[in-house]
Structure formats: C-alpha cells, structure tokens
C-alpha cells in the first residue's frame, strides 16, 4: 500500500527519494509526490502526479541542489486518487509539509475540535495532521507542536514532517504502520519498507510504535529517537544485508516469472536453514509452546490463508492436533469460541497485514501464545508475536505471491513434521525431490504458455480439486483472477454439481488438480460431468495417479507435498494469461503488496 521515503544528508535528496519510491512501487499505489528543499531558494518545492513514479520523474526538473526531502506513493483510502489528494500535503500557510501512511480514525473529530475555519483542500486525513501542527506551532516550538499533534492522533501512522522555517530537519513518527531508518556516512533515509533503504544505507533501525524521531544535519546528518514520554531512546542497529541486485528482475521480463523460477532454490534454502546435523529442526522454544496444546488456530489472508489450509492438513495428519483456519478480517471482529489450551499461528508474507495485526492484539489480550510465520523477520507481526519462523523466500516484489506461498507451505510442513511423534518418511529427502521436480516443470513453461493460448479463451474459469487439491484450487483461482482479471473460482470438485455446474457452458475452462490416490477417481468423474456440458478441461495430475491423456503430468513426489508442485503450473497459467492480455503482471490494478489498512 502507500509508501514513504525521506532523506536528509549529502547526496541529492531527489535521487535517493525517487529511487526509493521506484523500489516501493511493488506495494501498489495510484498517485505519488515529492517535496524537497531547493537549496538556492531555501524553501520546499512540491511535485505530485496521478499515476506512476516514472511520470513524476519525467514530468519535472530536479536539476537543482537539494539535500532534504520526503516522497510518497499513495493507495487511496480517504478520497479518490487525484492530484489534490496525493501526498505530500501542506498546512494552509505552507509552513509544514507531511507524508503519511495509515489511517487516522478520529480525523473528523480533530477538525471539529481544533481546525474550525481552516480551509482544507483535500479529502485526506493527512492534511489535518499538517494543519494541527501549524495551529499548535503558533504557541509552542515546532517540535512541541508535532508531539502535541501525535498525542491526539488515534489510528495508524508512519509520518514524515518538514518545516519551512527549519529546513534542515525531518520529524518522523510511527504507530502501527511500518517505518524504518537507514543510515550511512552520506545521510539518513526513512522508508516504510526495507527495500526503500537498499543501495544507500549501510545500517537500518527498526522503530517501535509511538516513537518520535528528529533527523537533522548540523554538519553530519544524524537522528535522535524519543519514546512516548519524550525520553531519549537508542534504536538497535542492524547491518543491511540486501543489495540492489537482489531486488532487480535479473534478466526476466517480470518479477513474477523470476520469482516462480526461484522456487526450487527457495526450497533448498529453507532446507539449509532448518537442517541441523542432517535433521530438520525447529527451535526448542517453539516446540515447547505446542506441548499439550489441544487446538492449533491458523489466521491469515489471501494467498497466505491457502498456505494455512495446507498447514491444517499437515498438523492434523502429522501431529494429530485439531487445527482451524480463520480469515484474519473475520476473526478480528467475529471471534469464534476458542479452546482454552490453544496456540495461534499467523501466516503473512509481509508481516504487515493490518487485518492480522488486529487479530494479534486480541490474541495477546486473551493470553494465547502466538507464532508468526513470515518472509520479513523485521516486520511488525514478527516482532509482536511471542515467536517467529522465517520462510527465507527472499524479497518478493510481484504483487501476486508465488515463492512466498511455496516457502510458507514448506515451513509449515517442517514445523508439523518436527512436532510429529512418529516420522514415517524423510521430509528433507522428499522436499529435495520436490525441488528437482519443480525445476523440470519450470523448464517446460513454454508448453504451459501454449496450453493457455489454446484452452483459456473465456472471461471465466474454474479450478476444481478435492482435499488438499481443493486448497490448491483456491490458490490457483486467486492467482489467475488477481493478475488476468478473469473471473475464476476454486471449487471442491464434488460440490460443483450442487449448483455451480449451472455456469458450465461451451468452452468454459475447467482446470482439475488431481494428486491424491483416495480421490482421483471421484475428481475424474467430476471432469466428465463438466465435459459433457461443453467445458474445455485441463487436467494437472501427479504421475502416480495420472492418465496418459492428462494435460500436465507432474513427476511423482510424496503425496502430502504434492501442493508444492501442483501450484507451479497454476502460477504459470496465470502468468501467461496475463501476458497474453498485455496486463501489468507485477502490479495488477487495485492491489497492494502489503495491505496495511483494515
Ligand atoms: C497474493 O497473491 C495476494 N496478493 C494477497 O492475497 C496476499 O497474499 C494477502 O494480502 C496477504 O498478505 P500477507 O501474506 O503479506 O499477509
């Protein structure tokens, strides 16, 4: 969702900020803007536009000396995506300039109470912040005015604020929305995502909620952090271990294809990270929390919830602990009856999904233990849960999640296997087989491209499967719809005939996933039913249950791990369909990579 970058230092601020905003594009946005100090005029210049960062770069002249600035990519929440609503926002006298991620819940009350008579030009909650600071600065210092404003805000925010009367300073603050600081001897960078700091920061610092920061250049660029009562705090310094080349396309036409292709290597990396003395192992601390637990509760959203369903299958089969899976946005406000001896697992690629954070607050209040499984170990959910497991997928840039899903399922398998009392197979060996099978499948991607051209010709589509194949169908359908905009449903194969089969007519594509011995026969019957009604079918099957005429036959792997392999052709189907339709594959419309509002 929205992205923030700010810079103060010796480099040209607009270079650092625009470069950072480009790196945040993957998060999804609809407009963008930048404010920077034109050193010759000693005042801030603001440029904004609806559309891409490239437009912002190409439409304006940055060829002036400038060393301080803030920038923003906006994903509209309050007010439509237009130039007026895009950030940065100024106070009415133009003294204070603000960029903001998050949602201020009480902004209407604040207008009514403090800003009577102030003319607001946008529909945003952010403009209210700029004007509150301005109002309070009439009777106190700018720093005190920022603090007073922060004390009134209810909701989520990552904020950067500049003051035209003290141009070598940036104020920053955070509550619930992510914000990090990067540093090098060349300057201080702020970013709402670690990616924005890559390339110009040697170190980075995580910021706790309700922290207030003042960054300034008095000769050397530096910053000081303060806690909620204004006491100085020292932030932990971390070495930046991401390089620019880890977040580029590496010769691929799209990030999504690169990330699909990385999946075999991701499985191998996870194996290396979780292998201790030749055995797959989860830390004793995590294992101990599962002792005597009568229920496992999994909470997630989107693709991560589909990984959660597969996790349920693993936990119930390997550990015999009943497991329930909940949609985060539902669980947060419609809580079901819970078992006293339960444990919660939150699955999130980004670790920043606001719906999940709302759940975690409840879970902690109720005193349940919590474990976050995430790709971003520095994320809010990773830090706020009692325990965390990293999935080691590496940066995932395409909005459509692929390698993170495979990594989530792999780590869930390792966790369930580690907790299992009896181990009837060698998971490490079986996962290696999966990675090899994946590689040969990805090598045949052009074949799948051809299949898409021949068989996917309608504006709707169905994926069907049973058991874990049904869960894969759900993920496959989400992938196809989110990047190709084809209306797709993932369906339990046996349920189709209870109503939805009415939608099957000539040439409607029905893609069946068949990897499980106990249900392959039944799913094939369902394929016959739709064929008889004119559907165009594609069958994806595992070699051990395949028929020679199936369209995509996957090399045999352990049946439990089949979801890791069978999802790959569905990712490629989505990719090639979106490519054929000439769509923006990595940044599909209306979507954000990390959904930081509820
Ligand atoms: C995946 O392709 C989606 N874009 C989306 O459903 C995503 O999985 C969901 O928003 C959850 O994100 P998270 O894993 O970062 O919490």
| Centre of ligand 1 from the C-alpha of residue 182, in Å | 26
* Pocket flag, ligand 1, residue 28 (CB < 6 Å): no
Q: Which residues pair with 398 in a beta bridge?
A: none
Q: What is the pLDDT of residue 595?
A: 83
Q: What is the pLDDT of residue 144?
A: 95
| Centre of ligand 1 from the C-alpha of residue 302, in Å | 5
* Pocket flag, ligand 1, residue 125 (CB < 6 Å): no
**Where does 290-381 show beta strands of DSSP type E?**
295-300, 323-327, 342-348, 370-374
**Is 577 tagged catalytic?**
no
**Where does 500-584 show beta strands of DSSP type E?**
509-514, 536-542, 552-554
* Pocket flag, ligand 1, residue 513 (CB < 6 Å): no
Spell 64-99 as b/e; 16+ CB within 10 A means b: eebbbbbbbbbbbbebeeeeebbbbbbbbeebbbbb
* Pocket flag, ligand 1, residue 259 (CB < 6 Å): no
Q: Which atom of ligand 1 is nearest to the CA of 593?
A: 4
Q: Which atom of ligand 1 is nearest to the CA of 399?
A: 4
* Pocket flag, ligand 1, residue 414 (CB < 6 Å): no
The tens place of each residue's pLDDT in the chain, 598 residues long, gives 689 999 999 999 999 999 999 988 877 788 999 999 988 777 899 999 999 999 999 999 899 999 999 999 998 877 788 888 999 999 999 999 999 998 899 999 999 999 999 999 998 899 999 999 999 999 999 999 999 999 999 998 999 999 999 999 999 999 988 899 999 999 999 999 888 998 889 999 989 899 999 999 877 889 999 998 889 999 999 998 877 767 778 789 999 999 999 999 999 999 999 998 888 999 999 999 999 999 999 999 999 999 999 999 999 999 999 999 999 999 988 889 999 999 999 999 999 999 999 999 999 999 999 999 999 998 889 999 999 999 999 999 999 999 999 999 999 999 999 999 999 999 999 999 999 999 999 999 999 999 999 999 999 999 999 999 999 999 999 999 999 999 999 999 999 999 999 999 999 999 999 999 999 999 999 999 999 999 999 999 999 999 999 999 999 999 999 999 999 999 999 999 999 999 999 999 988 887 877 7
Dihedral pair phi/psi, residue 328, rounded to 5°: -55, -45
Q: Which of 193, 260, 300, 302 for a ligand 1 pocket mutation test, highest count of atoms within 8 Å of Cβ? A: 302
Catalytic choice (48, 169, 174, 593): 593
Q: Which of 308, 328, 382, 401 for a ligand 1 pocket mutation test, highest count of atoms within 8 Å of Cβ? A: 401
pLDDT digits (tens, 9 = 90+) for 245-295: 677 787 899 999 999 999 999 999 999 999 988 889 999 999 999 999 999
**Is 2 tagged catalytic?**
yes
* Pocket flag, ligand 1, residue 372 (CB < 6 Å): no
CA distances from 384 to 104, 121, 272 (A): 22, 37, 26
Q: What is the pLDDT of residue 302?
A: 97
Q: What is the pLDDT of residue 345?
A: 98
Beta carbons within 10 angstroms of residue 240's beta carbon: 17
Q: Which atom of ligand 1 is nearest to the CA of 594?
A: 15
Beta carbons within 10 angstroms of residue 143's beta carbon: 18
Query: In the chain, what are the domains?
Result: 3-247 (3.60.20.10), 252-441 (3.40.50.10490), 444-586 (3.40.50.10490)
Q: What is the pLDDT of residue 584?
A: 93
Q: Which atom of ligand 1 is nearest to the CA of 402?
A: 2
Q: What is the pLDDT of residue 565?
A: 98
Spell 11-44 as b/e; 16+ CB within 10 A means b: bbbbebbbbbbbbbbbbbbbbbbbbbbbeeeeeb
Question: What region, left, alpha or beta, does residue 438 occupy, with left being phi > 0 and alpha being psi -120 to 50 degrees?
Answer: alpha
Q: What is the pLDDT of residue 75?
A: 85
* Tokens describing residue 186: 């060349």
Beta carbons within 10 angstroms of residue 392's beta carbon: 18
Q: Which of 310, 349, 475, 585 for a ligand 1 pocket mutation test, highest count of atoms within 8 Å of Cβ? A: 349
Q: What is the pLDDT of residue 39?
A: 80
């Amino acid at each position: 969702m929205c992205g923030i970058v700010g810079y103060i230092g010796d480099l040209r601020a607009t270079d650092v900020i625009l470069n950072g905003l480009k790196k945040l594009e993957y998060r999804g946005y609809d407009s963008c803007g930048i404010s920077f100090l034109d050193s010759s005029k000693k005042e801030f210049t603001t440029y904004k536009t609806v559309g891409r960062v490239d437009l912002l770069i190409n439409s304006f002249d940055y060829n002036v000396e400038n060393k301080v600035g803030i920038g923003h990519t906006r994903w509209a929440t309050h007010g439509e995506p237009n130039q007026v609503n895009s950030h940065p926002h100024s106070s009415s006298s133009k003294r204070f300039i603000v960029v903001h991620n998050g949602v201020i819940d009480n902004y209407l009350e604040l207008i009514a109470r403090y800003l009577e008579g102030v003319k607001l030009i946008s529909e945003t909650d952010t403009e209210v912040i700029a004007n509150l600071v301005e109002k309070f600065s009439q009777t106190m210092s700018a720093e005190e005015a920022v603090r007073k404003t922060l004390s009134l805000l209810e909701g989520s925010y990552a904020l950067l604020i500049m003051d035209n009367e003290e141009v070598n300073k940036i104020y920053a603050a955070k509550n619930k929305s992510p914000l990090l600081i990067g540093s090098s001897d060349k300057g201080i960078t702020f970013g709402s995502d670690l990616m924005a700091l890559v390339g110009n920061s040697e170190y980075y610092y995580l910021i706790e909620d309700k922290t207030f920061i003042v960054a300034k250049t008095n000769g050397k660029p530096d910053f000081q952090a303060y806690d909620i009562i204004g006491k100085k705090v020292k932030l932990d310094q971390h070495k930046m271990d991401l390089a620019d080349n880890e977040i580029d396309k590496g010769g691929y036409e799209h990030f999504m294809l690169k990330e699909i292709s990385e999946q075999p290597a991701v499985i191998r990396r996870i194996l290396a990270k979780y292998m201790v003395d030749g055995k797959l192992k989860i830390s004793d601390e995590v294992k101990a929390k599962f002792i005597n637990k009568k229920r496992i509760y999994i909470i997630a959203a989107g693709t991560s919830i589909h990984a959660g369903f597969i996790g349920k299958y693993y936990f119930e089969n390997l550990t015999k602990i009943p497991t329930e899976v909940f949609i985060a946005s539902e669980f947060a406000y419609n809580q079901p009856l819970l078992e006293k001896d339960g444990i919660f697992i939150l699955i999130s690629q980004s670790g920043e999904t606001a719906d999940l954070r709302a759940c975690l607050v409840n879970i902690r209040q109720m005193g349940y233990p919590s474990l976050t499984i995430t790709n971003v170990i520095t994320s809010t959910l990773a830090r706020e849960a009692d325990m965390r497991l990293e999935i080691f997928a590496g940066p995932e840039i395409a909005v459509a999640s692929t390698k993170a899903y495979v990594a989530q399922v792999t780590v869930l398998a390792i966790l369930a296997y580690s907790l299992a009392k009896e181990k009837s197979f060698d998971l490490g060996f079986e996962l290696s087989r999966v990675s090899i099978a994946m590689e040969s499948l990805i090598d045949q991607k052009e074949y799948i491209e051809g299949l898409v051209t021949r068989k996917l010709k309608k504006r709707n589509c169905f994926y069907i499967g049973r058991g874990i194949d049904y869960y894969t169908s759900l993920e496959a359908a989400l992938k196809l719809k989110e990047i190709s905009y084809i209306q797709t449903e993932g369906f339990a194969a046996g349920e189709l005939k209870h109503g939805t089969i009415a939608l099957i007519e000539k040439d409607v594509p029905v893609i069946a996933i068949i990897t499980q011995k106990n249900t392959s026969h039944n799913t094939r019957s369902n394929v016959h039913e739709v064929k008889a009604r004119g559907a165009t079918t594609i069958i994806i099957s595992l070699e051990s249950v395949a028929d020679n005429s199936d369209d995509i036959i996957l090399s045999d792997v352990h049946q439990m791990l089949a979801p890791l392999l069978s999802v790959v052709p569905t990712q490629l189907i989505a990719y090639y369909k979106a490519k054929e339709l000439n769509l923006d594959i990595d940044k599909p419309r209306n979507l954000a990579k990390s959904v930081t509002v509820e």
